[in-house]
């Protein structure tokens, strides 16, 4: 299953989500093989996973996770059957390159940071997705601050508008998540016993469930 993690808005948690999701998917099942396609020229995820930049597919420092840096959509492997999941960490752009990358995915997860432009942002992204045959797997609320009433109201609004197309899992705004990446660790490695880290395991379970339903 090829899943793009995409929102054209920058800094909403695409790369953080993709890295931690890859880790949880392989943690759930030691047999699981994930190909992580870093499609962003920033190469943050490729640097996170691998000691050195390499061309083609290379092993990461995590068992079960391989990495490929994709500058041009043509570099995406045509067949990824040997992998259970291919995760595409998408760049913050809405252009022909991102549309080509989206078209190469089976489904798309849209991380959303709740703010006044969040709803319009989702509409722009779902419009781009609908121009391809890719399935909109759902909006994933990230960086959620439950103490902020504006975030709580916006979550209600988005759930009302999108219904089941909003993931039950919510990724909180958390120093554990932010710091773990700064220490070049997944949230589970950094403080896996705490709630913010556990949410990625719940996300992985939900992705498997939703993904199986569309296959
Ligand atoms: N749930 C979270 N809680 C706290 N900080 C977070 C969370 N998710 C992401 N961050 C921080 O926000 C910043 C942006 O996150 P990230 O790079 O994952 O976003 P992105 O959508 O991939 O950005 P870009 O559009 O530039 O690729 C990073 O510093 C990251 O550590
Ligand atoms: Mg990113």
pLDDT score recorded for residue 78:
83
Residue 92 within a domain: yes
pLDDT at 137: 96
Longest dimension (CA), the chain: 46
In a domain, 214, yes or no: no
Ligand nearest to the CA of 16: 1
pLDDT at 99: 94
| Spans of the chain below 70 pLDDT | 215
Residue 67 domain boundaries: 2-208
Indicate the number of domains in the chain: 1
Ligand 1 environment, Cβ below 6 A: 10-16, 40, 44, 92, 142-143, 171, 173-174, 177-178, 181
- Would you state the pLDDT for residue 96? 94
pLDDT score recorded for residue 154: 94
In this structure, the number of other CB atoms found within 10 A of the CB of residue 52 comes to: 7
> 73 — alpha (psi -120 to 50), left (phi > 0) or beta?
alpha
CB 34 within 8 A of CB 25: yes
Q: Give domain status of residue 43, yes or no.
A: yes
Strand partners, 35: 66, 86
Per the domain annotation, does 215 fall within a domain?
Answer: no
Q: What is the CATH number of the domain that holds 95?
A: 3.40.50.300
pTM: 0.96
Determine the atom of ligand 1 nearest the C-alpha atom of 12.
21
Question: Which pLDDT belongs to residue 213?
Answer: 77
> What is the reported pLDDT for 162?
93
């Amino acid at each position: 299953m090829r899943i793009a993690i995409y929102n054209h808005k920058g800094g909403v948690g695409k790369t953080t989500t993709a890295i931690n999701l890859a880790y949880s998917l392989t943690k759930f099942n030691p047999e699981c093989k994930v190909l992580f396609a870093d499609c962003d020229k920033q190469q943050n995820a490729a640097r996170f996973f691998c000691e050195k930049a390499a061309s083609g597919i290379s092993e990461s420092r995590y068992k079960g996770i391989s990495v490929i840096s994709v500058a041009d959509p043509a570099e995406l492997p045509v067949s990824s059957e040997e992998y259970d999941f291919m995760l595409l960490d998408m760049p913050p752009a809405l252009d022909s390159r991102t549309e080509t990358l989206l078209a190469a995915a089976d489904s798309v997860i849209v991380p959303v940071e709740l703010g006044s432009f969040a709803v319009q942002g989702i509409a722009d992204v779902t419009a781009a997705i609908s121009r391809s045959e890719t399935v909109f797997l759902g909006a994933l609320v990230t960086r959620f601050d439950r103490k902020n009433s504006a975030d709580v109201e916006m979550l209600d609004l988005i759930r009302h508008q999108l219904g089941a197309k909003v993931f039950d899992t919510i990724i909180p705004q958390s120093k554990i998540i932010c710091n773990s990446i700064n220490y070049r660790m997944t949230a589970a490695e950094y403080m896996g016993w705490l709630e913010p880290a556990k949410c990625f395991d719940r996300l992985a379970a939900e992705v498997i469930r939703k993904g199986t339903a569309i296959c």
